[in-house]
Structure 1
Amino acid sequence: MQVRENGRPVPNLSVLPANTAGTKELAVVLVIDTSGSMRGAPIRGAVAAARVFASHRNPQQQLGIVEFNGAVRTALPLTTNQVAIERALKSAPPLGRNTHVYDAVQTALGMLKAGHIAGGAIVLLSDGADTGSVATTAAVQSAAQAAGVRIFTVGLKSGAFDATALKALAAGGSGSFSIAGSSAQLSAIYDQLGSELSSQYVIRYRSQAKPHTTVRVDVSLPDGAGAALSYVTPALPVHPDPPFHRPFWQSASAFAAVSLVCAVLIALGLITALRAQPTRRSVGARLAEFVSPAEKPHDERLSLALRFFSGTEQKLARREWWGRFKEELDVAGVEMPAVQVVVLTGVGTLLLIVVIVALTGSPLLALLAFIAPLAVHVVIERRLEHQRSLFADQLADNLQVIASALRAGQSFVGALSVAVSDAPEPTRREFRRVVADERLGVPLDQGLSVVARRMRNRDLEQIEVVAALQRQTGGNMAEVLDQAADTMRERADLRRMVKTLTTQGRMSRWVVSALPPGLLLIISVINPTYVKPLFATAGGHAVLVVCTGMIISGSLVIKRIVDIDV
């Protein structure tokens, strides 16, 4: 098969036979005259012919029925339901006065247009001329040509038969006109039309013709047969209606833009303030509390930053968790002040909310921005656990050093000082804190209690008890420390064995947690339209938020299961 448009071959041609086309590709509307002149054998023959036509219908081909006299009635909407078709053609319809041929054809065209049919056809049966239609011949022909619908007309001879309207519709609708001398001949005509329409093909190609241009399409087959069709491409409107535009300041884009600008300004102000805030007090600043140094120029940025962070910290200090949070940052080795961590996390979350809303336009998806504070919490917790794990691993060796120093004649405080000089971090930092507190008059057992709480180390709590007993009653503390160190090494071996045995569970946690977002990413790359509803609809956004929460919850539950405290 070769298709030419205005004499030029058409590239990228698509040809679909009727039996493989979809339900939106091909459809036929039977338009049957039910005026008074069809009484008796003519209307019975028309219904019988319609049944014959329906018997040739391709299963994928939709069929509709329109009946007309002085009124137009849709007897059967477009459908592929064979039971509904047989029910509609079971008996002859009621008859009436007048013959509104053009109105009936216009109704059939509207039915095909509403069904979004690519290749529609109308088969019209009447025994007379149009009487009383509102629509005109030119209007119906123009609508049929614009919609690409073919009109086949069948005339049934009667005393008042006039084929003018039927011939005009067939010619203007690129169809054919047939005439039946009696109602008995209708079945043969409808049988031929049914066979022809059920074996048609759908030819598709992308036309390069300009608007309002006459196009001639020639279809030729290898055996020499072919067909030709001419049409005029639609013209562009001279004065198109302007699209509806909501005022910019009332749109979601304006809200996202203003929010983004405000967030950027806040972030710039906070960054400037953070750079201006001193992290450490110099020697001169400390001496200034006791002497009156020369006045220096007043820095407004520094004063503003200090007032802002000081006010924020005063408000946060009223919270029960604030002291614990500052202590955890100190143990984790985070040098940034706690108030800066909180403020920067809040600003980062706000910026992430604005970016998500600006990119997706969905406030619901903005809930995903709260992953930012969760991520900060996870990072701090991991550093905290790392420091505490290091301390626990180093404690046995450091107790051995303390025991050796005690045997060499050192006091417990002196032995701690010896351990501090040789111990790695974080043990050095924590034991240095105990020695410094003891010099300030804090008992050793209380100092060790603080370190045990900071490091969450139950082994150190035992050393605290030993220190209290040694302070009150004395005794061979070196031997007790040796036994405690041996016990700690055995417990460390047990912890390592448990960690090895739970490795599979921890790996399963990360695999199960990463599997849903990984699959979503892969499917988004391979078939974006498959996951488009998740990102383009409110229901999809809700599903994303709920699934994210479930993934995080499941990960935390698995962590709780495999985290065995020894």
Structure 2
Amino acid sequence: MRSLPRPEGRVVRRGPGGGRAARFTASALAALTAVLTLAVAIPAAAVARLDDELSAAVSAVRVTAGQAQFYLTARNLPEGVSLDEAQVTVRAGNETLAASVEASGGGSPGGGPERSVVIVFDASASMDGEPLARAQDAALRYAAAVPADVRIGLVRVGDEARTLLEPTADRRAFAAAVGGVRAQGSTALYDAVAEGQAVLARQPAGDRRMLVLSDGADTSSATSLDLLAMRLRREGAVLDVVAFGDGTDAEALRRLADSGTGQVRRATRGEELAQAFLSAAAAFSAPVRVTVRVPATLAGRSARMTVEVRAGGERASTATTVAFAADPRAAPGTGPAAVAVGGPPGWLYPVGGGALLGALLLGIAALAGPRRGLDSRRLAQLDRFALRRAAPQGGAGAAVQGVQGAALALTDKVVRARGRHERITVQLEQAGMRLLPHEWTLLRLGVSFAVTVLLGLLVSPVAGVLLGPASGWAGCAFYRRHRAARRARRFAEQLPDSLQLVVGSLRSGFSLGQALAALVRESAEPISTEFGRALAETRIGVDLEDALEKAAERTDCRDLSWLVMAIRIQREVGGNLAEIMATAVDTMRERARLRRHVRALTAEGRLSAYVLIALPIGIGAWMFLIRGEYVRPLYTEPLGIVMLGAAVLLVLAGAFWMSRLIKVEV
């Protein structure tokens, strides 16, 4: 017995290991086959189950003062149950509306909505022969099964979409159009569905549907599936699909049906095709007219209206957004609207207005007090050594001054007890605000109270109590920081030109102190204020360099700090101070030019950051004011609170990241 020759360079080994590998491969293939079978069978079973479930649709919604009326249709009703016998529940927002249901003769004038359907008929080359004949017979049976008032149109699927018949109630015209269909060309399915949608859009408002017959995947459409699905969701027409044969694109057809809130019916044989069309025709059940009473709390508002149908132990629901009409007959202060809105009580407005006025007067008094008593404070030390004289009494002015003095004394005691006097003093000096720490604290308290009252009047008392104090306090802090930053920026911009005057004075033979005195006389705020204070400190024994260093700290000016360092070095090692300061001025100007250049380059990034940060905050605040019920789940439901917290964290992280991204140190 001759053995077969083995290929050169190849070693063939056989043994127990090879058998195990073969068995493992076979087992893996069997498992994979089972998984694929389940993956196909489970969705198919789900589709079959969904096709048999009860479903409902709302159409022709009409709103008037105090009520809303619409037509309700249902499919897959239990055997022996009509829609007018079903239990219908209507909800809008968090309220259940009183509803009455009555049978309606569809199609008669005033008896029901206009009903139209467009059949998108696949007549590509793959339908030639018996499949086309079966499809034509199924379409004719469909036309005979739907109510006589339903208008039927026909769009052909081929190389291009073509409208063969506009929706009409003439069944003979429809039969002639179907009989003239010939199978040829490729499959432009998506274009044909888009054409059918355009045909339905030209029909009167009412119950508009589309029935798509397809035996294969789309091959030549210019319209994409994503764009088509978006259009179907926007238009709201019901789209049902009949998938004929085994070559259909199941995923694409399911997506079309989901976008059109319809169903997919499968037919693998010709007998099943006619049954699928008749099942789709059953969707045109006799509609019922539902009339609901709109309470005054919903008048003039938009709300999500949910309609629930219970029939024979089964349940179905559908929802749509309805803009309810305002009721002009409702007098102000009458009816349930005056009680159910939950607004602030009537006494809150005069009390809140008086409190707001008092807070504003208190703030004005706190601001005016320091300016009015500036000279008297300078003489306060002399007054301590004088004999006490009785203060003038009487009049409203004395009462106001007494209240103001008591409030200022109390805030001064609190500020000093907490050890914040020095820190607040430095902050006010940086902002150039001529207020004492306790006066500034009292002003912040007054503003916080005023904001609390305003929010309580404009939004709600709860919002005022929760957000008012923090908003007013933080707003004052932001104002102070803004003033300090603006003052520091002006100081840095004026510093090079001002120091140029000092350089000229030094070259003319003046000393540094004389040159700075001339600078104080010739310059504007804040240069004159800061250098004048530095010179005043030198008159009481402080070194000039130390006084200038403190001015640099108050204005947060790094250039002035470097200049002070240069002056210290010149004092120790000698040299021409005028030349040193001239070099420092040139360096400051170059740095300022570079900063302006960087600011111009980052302007677009800063604007984008401002818009991106303000957009969610602004939209959220606007929605809270005009549609509070829409955003209420965000702070009343656990999931909403988690989502809101995550959104706040993401906005804060994004704000920090963008602030670091657009900040360039020079």
Q: TM-score range by the shorter chain?
A: 0.5 to 0.7
Secondary structure in structure 1 of the residue aligned to 2:575: coil
Query: 1:384 offset after TM fit, Å?
Result: 1.1
8 Å contact from structure 1 (residues 445, 468) kept in 2: yes
Which whole-Å CA distance do the structure 1 matches of 2:282 and 2:504 have between them?
107
User: What letter corresponds to residue 100 of structure 2 in structure 1?
Assistant: A
Q: Is 1:414 paired with 2:519?
A: no
1:5-64 Cα offsets, whole Å, 9 max, x none, are xxxxxx9999866xxx156xx999xxxxxxxxxxxxxxxxxxxxx84x35xx6xxx4877
1:119 alignment partner AA: V
**SS state at 1:119 partner:** strand
Three-state SS of the structure 2 residue aligned to 1:363 is helix
Distance change (3 Å), C-alpha of 1:321 and 1:559: farther
- Mark the runs of 5 or more structure 1 residues left unpaired by the alignment: 1-10, 29-49, 65-76, 80-113, 122-194, 208-242
Residue 382 (structure 1) aligned to one of 468, 479, 482 = 482
TM-score (norm 2): 0.45
Amino acid at match of 1:344: L
Q: 352, 362, 372: which is aligned to 2:451? A: 352
Which whole-Å CA distance do the structure 1 matches of 2:548 and 2:610 have between them?
Answer: 37
1:297 corresponding residue in structure 2: 392
- Deviation at 1:334? 2.4
Tell me the residue number matched to 2:259. none
Deviation for aligned residue 1:428: 1.0
Counterparts in 2 of 1:477 and 1:354: CA distance versus 1, 3 Å: same
Would you say the 8 A contact 1:391–1:427 is kept in 2?
yes
In structure 1, the partner of 2:303 is none
Secondary structure (helix, strand or coil) at the match of 1:446 reads helix
SS in structure 2 of the partner of residue 282 of structure 1: helix
Q: Mark the CA change 1:202 to 1:274 in structure 2 (over 3 Å): closer, same or farther.
A: same
**Alignment match, 1:443:** 543
- Secondary structure, counterpart of 2:524 in structure 1: coil
Matches within 5 A, 1:2-401: 21=72, 51=79, 53=80, 61=83, 118-119=100-101, 199-203=285-289, 253=345, 260=352, 263-264=355-356, 267=359, 270-271=362-363, 274=366, 277-279=369-371, 280-282=373-375, 286=379, 288-289=383-384, 297-298=392-393, 299=398, 301-319=400-418, 321-357=420-456, 360-361=459-460, 363=462, 366-369=465-468, 370-401=470-501
Q: Do 1:445 and 1:467's aligned partners in 2 also have CA atoms closer than 8 Å?
A: yes
Identity of aligned residues (%): 25
The whole-number CA distance in structure 2 between the counterparts of 1:372 and 1:120 is 57
Are the equivalent residues in 2 in contact too, given 1:513–1:551 (CA < 8 A)?
yes
Q: 2:475 is matched by which residue type in structure 1?
A: A
Q: Which residue does 1:534 correspond to in 2?
A: 631
Instruction: Show the counterpart of 1:210.
Output: none
Q: Deviations over 1:247-302 (max 9, x none)?
A: xxxx9859967984895586377358538845334369726456559765244543
Shift, 1:504, TM fit: 1.2
SS of residue in 1 equivalent to 2:434: coil
Q: SS of the residue aligned with 2:664?
A: coil
From 601, 626, 634, the counterpart of 1:501:
601
Q: Distance in 2 between matches of 1:273 and 1:363?
A: 29
Q: 5+ residue gaps in structure 2?
A: 1-63, 90-95, 104-280, 294-335
Letter in 2 for 1:270: L
**Native 8 Å contact 1:329 1:380 kept in 2:** yes
CA offset digits 1:128-183 (Å, max 9, x no partner): xxxxxxxxxxxxxxxxxxxxxxxxxxxxxxxxxxxxxxxxxxxxxxxxxxxxxxxx
Taking the aligned partners of 1:340 and 1:283, their CA distance within structure 2 comes to: 16
* Separation (CA, whole Å) in 1 of partners of 2:399 and 2:98: 70
Q: Could you say which residue in structure 2 is the equivalent of 1:492?
A: 592
Partner-residue secondary structure (3-state), 1:440? coil
Q: Could you tell me how far 1:383 is from its partner in structure 2?
A: 1.6
Deviates most, 400-409 or 314-323: 314-323
Partners of 1:263 and 1:351 within 8 A in 2 = yes
The one-letter code sitting in structure 2 at the alignment partner of 1:446 is: D
Describe the shift of the 1:351–1:282 C-alpha distance in structure 2 as closer, same or farther (beyond 3 A).
closer
Q: How many equivalent pairs are there?
A: 363
Structure 1 Cα separation of the partners of residues 506 and 97 of structure 2: 96
Shift of 1:351: 3.7
The superposition leaves residues 373-411 of structure 1 with CA deviations (integer Å, 9 ceiling, x where unpaired) of 222222222221111111112222222221221121111
**Paired residues of 2:624 and 2:631 also in contact (CA < 8 A):** no
Q: Is residue 68–residue 292 contact of structure 2 (8 Å, CA) maintained in 1?
A: no
**d(CA) in 2 for partners of 1:255 and 1:538?**
29
Alignment partner of 1:429 out of 516, 521, 529 = 529
Note the aligned Cα RMSD (angstroms).
4.8
Cα displacement (A) at 1:457: 1.4
Structure-2 change in CA distance of 1:397 and 1:552 (3 Å): same
The superposition leaves residues 456-498 of structure 1 with CA deviations (integer Å, 9 ceiling, x where unpaired) of: 1122112222333444554321111111111111111111111
With over 3 angstroms needed to count, the CA separation of the structure-2 counterparts of 1:27 and 1:297, relative to structure 1, is: farther
Tell me which residue corresponds to 2:328. none
Instruction: State the shift of 1:337 in Å.
Output: 3.9
